[in-house]
Structure 1
Amino acid sequence: MLFNSIDFALFLPIIFILYWFVTNKNLKLQNFLIVIASYIFYGWWDWRFLSLILFSTIVDYSIGIGLSKQENLNKRKILLWISILVNLGLLSFFKYYNFFLDNFVLAFSFFGTEIKANSLNIILPVGISFYTFQTLSYTIDVYTRKLKPTKDFIGFSAFVSFFPQLVAGPIERATNLLPQFYKKRNFDYKKAVDGMRQILWGLFKKIVIADNCAQYANIIFNNSSEYSGSTLVLGAIFFTFQIYGDFSGYSDIAIGTSRLFGFNLKQNFNFPYFSRDIAEFWRRWHISLSTWFRDYLYIPLGGSRGSTWNKIRNVFIIFIVSGFWHGANWTFIIWGALNALYFLPVFLTNNNRNNLSIVSSRKHFPNVKDFFSIVFTFSLTVFAWIFFRANNVEHALNYISKIFSNSLFTSPNFENDAFVKPIFILLFIFIIIEWLGRFQQYAIANLGLKWKPLLRYFMYASIIFSLFWFGGKEQQFIYFQF
């Protein structure tokens, strides 16, 4: 079920009413309703894969119980590895089986040996990368004794399948989200209104910004050989805003929806395109994933301790694994490696924590240094996104080579300039609103709160109107494929 669909527009108020007016006096009943709602939400896409969520839930719940009864370190390690192998095994089979098979065959053919192997027609379960990492956080935290294992199967099932963030995150830690299922939740009007406001902004990002940028990004990338270098640059920029509006829009809707039901999810995007260096960008982009890899992979590998070689190795591992997490394609691995190369100079010179504060926190506009730092970091990001969006490595290299040709200095060419101009206006307005709201959890969190009610409601009405005016056919979120 898509957040930007009529189905969800009908589904959400029904669950909201049942949650607060029918099951509100019984916490376990509320949690059970969340489980049922989550399974309906996920099963709307393909009910067959509900068995995977249920299986993962049972495995990690059982291992948590086993860890609570086991003090022997070796046996605890065995239980942990069972969880890791089962969860990553399922993820690897559905997401990476054909990738490894094809590259295995290709490697042997390179040395003159032909191997016949049939690929499987495997459907990738939506959201498997997200809920797999979420359940893994539970078993790892129970193993390290950061969290006490739960004996409430319904509450744990609700944690694993929580529908607002089930399909594309944020990837919530068990230490943050799971305890919220065991506390009585009271309806908070201000919290609910704030949630609705964040949902509205998330829909604007997705429908108005991302989907409209997608139209031109898709045309340009799919026909890149026909366009000039300057047009290809715009195509990459369109995709840059598409993926941000699409993914951060989903996170806003997920966080806002969770707030309607009394839950607090962590911020997943913190205005990353205003970053002054690549280290700051990765502190602000897909925060739940980057911190997951930091805590469960980077630090166990040794983090920034040890020799320079170990530091470089750990940086490359975390970025390449992050790239591979996104998909079974060499383009994602190169995208990760490229970001590692971006990050290393800042990291090795100990400048990776220079920009911890909000840019221009006491000014309306950035100073000259910050401005050019933002532009430079944004440019690096745009370039890396080319590999992320390209169909394959050859496509990406051809796209880049066309950019760095004489046609880069020509005027961009579109089939219909009249239709592309409103996109630039929308992007300009969007950037201004995001800049003004960069101090908040999301751009319009405080926008208009001190205005007169008529003016504030006019702003909300304008955003809603733009959803219908600029919206077209409902489009799936990009990260559903990951």
Structure 2
Amino acid sequence: MLFNSIEFLIFLPIVFFLYWSVFNKSLKSQNLFVLISSYIFYGWWDYRFLFLIFLSTVVDYFIGKSIPLQTQESRKRFLLWGSMLFNLGVLGFFKYYNFFIESWVELISSLGYEMQSTWTLNIILPVGISFYTFQTMSYTIDVYRGNLKPTKDFVSFASFVSFFPQLVAGPIERATNLLPQILNRRVFKSEIAAQGLRLIVWGMFKKVVIADSLAPVVDNIFSGFDTYGGGTLILGSIYFAFQIYCDFSGYSDIAIGISKLFGFELMSNFKFPYFSRNIGEFWRRWHISLSTWFRDYLYIPLGGSKGGRWMSLRNIFVIFIVSGFWHGANWTFVIWGLIHAMLYIPSFVLNTNRKYLTAVVAENSIFPSLKEAFQMGVNFCFVTIGWVFFRSESTEKAITIIGKFFTEFSYHTPYKDYLYYYIVPFVILEWLFRRDERLTNVNKLLWLVLTVIFLIFITAKFGNQQSFIYFQF
């Protein structure tokens, strides 16, 4: 069920009404209703996937309960590895099985041996599997570390795993944050609900007005890359940078807003990443729930930055390669991760990766300084080059596109109008919002204008809703 679909526009008010008026008598009934609603939401795509998420829930629920009962550390580790191998095994089979088979066949063929890929399977990737497997693994790991006591309430745990606002595209919630909220009674607060509605409108605006308007242009440019010059391909890459940002951050804003309607606070996932002054700041502002997940559950266990310079560099490469591979079964994603590793390492070596930890750009000014503007511009250019690999179907295509940036550049290019109609106004809005991440102090008239624009666009595109990009991951 898409957030920007007529089905969801019917589903959400019904669930909201029943949640607060019928099932608010007890915590158990509220959580049971959240679970039922979440399974209806998820099963709307394909009811067969419900068994998979239920199985993952059952496995981690019982392993989580069993870990504290063990007296020997080896048995605790055995249970932890059982949870991780199960979740990663399921994820690996559905997402990467064919990729590894096809890569093996290509490798053997490159050595001069003929081999048919008869072992490939017609596998459908379950929506959101990368998100909820990481979410359940974080629960088991935190229980093992002693950071969280396992819950004995299966319904509450199942609600945590399948919580419908963020189930299929994040944020990837931690059990230490979301599960305690599920285990405690919620009380309706009108001011929190109003904040939620504002975030929903802003998220829908980003998705429907910006991302969906840019999508056909991006598709056209990237599919016809061999016929366009460098100028058009640069524009197409910039448009994709904003398409994926508005699409993904729009989903996160909607998810956070919907959660507020039901009395839950989700973690932030985006903090105006294109206003970052270096790549370290970018990764503290982009897909925060994933980058912090890798930091806490992979980078630090590998030794983090405490094992010497070479070990730290190794860990950085591992993190970015795994992050790229998490996004999809294609070498283009791995190269995208490598690009970001190469961008991050100079900042790490020079100790500038943690330079901008708290203050936003132009903290006490309307406009950025020339230095800040230059830093943001350079950082955005490097990030956009990385997006070319992320968007391309093959490494050859990405390299050809980037090569044309420098060899066939021309100012005479179509699609310029989208720059002025969508990108520039959106960047101005983001700049005005940059100090107010949850948009709590935005003028009511502006919200009315954004709402009207969103309604006009969604009415014009009725019946032709664009899926969210990160559903494929």
Fold similarity call, TM over 0.5: yes
Aligned position for 2:160: 159
Aligned position for 1:402: 404
Aligned position for 1:117: 117
* One-letter amino acid of the structure 1 residue matched with residue 205 of structure 2: F
Aligned position for 2:69: 69
Aligned position for 1:14: 14
Tell me, yes or no, if the aligned pair for 1:224 and 1:232 is still in contact at 8 Å.
yes
Tell me, yes or no, if the aligned pair for 1:199 and 1:252 is still in contact at 8 Å.
yes
Aligned position for 2:393: 391
Aligned position for 1:91: 91
Q: Give the gaps of 5 or more residues in structure 2.
A: none
Alignment deviations for residues 345-380 of structure 1 (CA, whole Å, 9 cap, x no partner): 000111111112211110011001000000000000
Cα offset, 1:21, TM superposition:
0.2
1:459 partnered with 2:449: yes
1:428 partnered with 2:424: yes
Aligned position for 1:452: none
Query: Residues 64-463 of structure 1: matches in 2 within 5 Å?
Result: 64-118=64-118, 119-356=120-357, 357-405=359-407, 407-408=408-409, 410-414=410-414, 421=417, 424-442=420-438, 444-449=439-444, 455=445, 458-463=448-453
Partners in 2 of 1:168 and 1:148 — Cα distance?
26
Partners in 2 of 1:93 and 1:71 — Cα distance?
33
Tell me, yes or no, if the aligned pair for 2:202 and 2:450 is still in contact at 8 Å.
no
Q: Give the gaps of 5 or more residues in structure 1.
A: 450-454
Partners in 1 of 2:453 and 2:227 — Cα distance?
36
Tell me, yes or no, if the aligned pair for 2:205 and 2:450 is still in contact at 8 Å.
no
* One-letter amino acid of the structure 2 residue matched with residue 94 of structure 1: F
Tell me, yes or no, if the aligned pair for 1:4 and 1:203 is still in contact at 8 Å.
yes
Cα offset, 1:440, TM superposition:
1.4
Query: Secondary structure, in 3 states, of the residue corresponding to 1:20?
Result: helix
Query: Secondary structure, in 3 states, of the residue corresponding to 1:224?
Result: coil
Cα offset, 1:122, TM superposition:
0.4
User: Stretches of 4+ moved more than 6 A in 1?
Assistant: none
* One-letter amino acid of the structure 2 residue matched with residue 107 of structure 1: L
Alignment deviations for residues 188-215 of structure 1 (CA, whole Å, 9 cap, x no partner): 0000011011000000000011011111
Count of residue correspondences = 470
Partners in 2 of 1:145 and 1:468 — Cα distance?
47
Cα offset, 1:69, TM superposition:
1.2
Partners in 2 of 1:342 and 1:477 — Cα distance?
28
Q: Choose 391-400 or 195-204, whichever is displaced more.
A: 391-400
Cα offset, 1:413, TM superposition:
2.5
Partners in 2 of 1:270 and 1:466 — Cα distance?
27
Cα RMSD of the aligned pairs, angstroms, is 1.3
Aligned position for 1:477: 468
* One-letter amino acid of the structure 2 residue matched with residue 10 of structure 1: I
Query: Secondary structure, in 3 states, of the residue corresponding to 1:47?
Result: coil
* One-letter amino acid of the structure 2 residue matched with residue 267 of structure 1: S
Alignment deviations for residues 22-69 of structure 1 (CA, whole Å, 9 cap, x no partner): 011111111011111111101000000100000000000010111121
Tell me, yes or no, if the aligned pair for 1:187 and 1:262 is still in contact at 8 Å.
yes
Query: Secondary structure, in 3 states, of the residue corresponding to 2:44?
Result: helix
Cα offset, 1:402, TM superposition:
1.6
Partners in 1 of 2:139 and 2:268 — Cα distance?
19
Alignment deviations for residues 400-420 of structure 1 (CA, whole Å, 9 cap, x no partner): 122221x21x22422xx5xx5
Alignment deviations for residues 82-108 of structure 1 (CA, whole Å, 9 cap, x no partner): 000000000000000011111112222
* One-letter amino acid of the structure 1 residue matched with residue 428 of structure 2: I
Query: Secondary structure, in 3 states, of the residue corresponding to 2:467?
Result: coil
Aligned position for 1:468: 458
Query: Secondary structure, in 3 states, of the residue corresponding to 1:301?
Result: coil
Alignment deviations for residues 425-454 of structure 1 (CA, whole Å, 9 cap, x no partner): 222111111111111124x432115xxxxx
Tell me, yes or no, if the aligned pair for 1:208 and 1:466 is still in contact at 8 Å.
no
Partners in 2 of 1:429 and 1:459 — Cα distance?
13
Query: Secondary structure, in 3 states, of the residue corresponding to 1:250?
Result: helix
Alignment deviations for residues 255-301 of structure 1 (CA, whole Å, 9 cap, x no partner): 00000000000110000000000000000000000000000000011
Partners in 2 of 1:247 and 1:461 — Cα distance?
19
Partners in 2 of 1:466 and 1:412 — Cα distance?
32
TM-score for the superposition, normalised by structure 2: 0.97
Partners in 2 of 1:412 and 1:157 — Cα distance?
55
Tell me, yes or no, if the aligned pair for 2:199 and 2:257 is still in contact at 8 Å.
yes
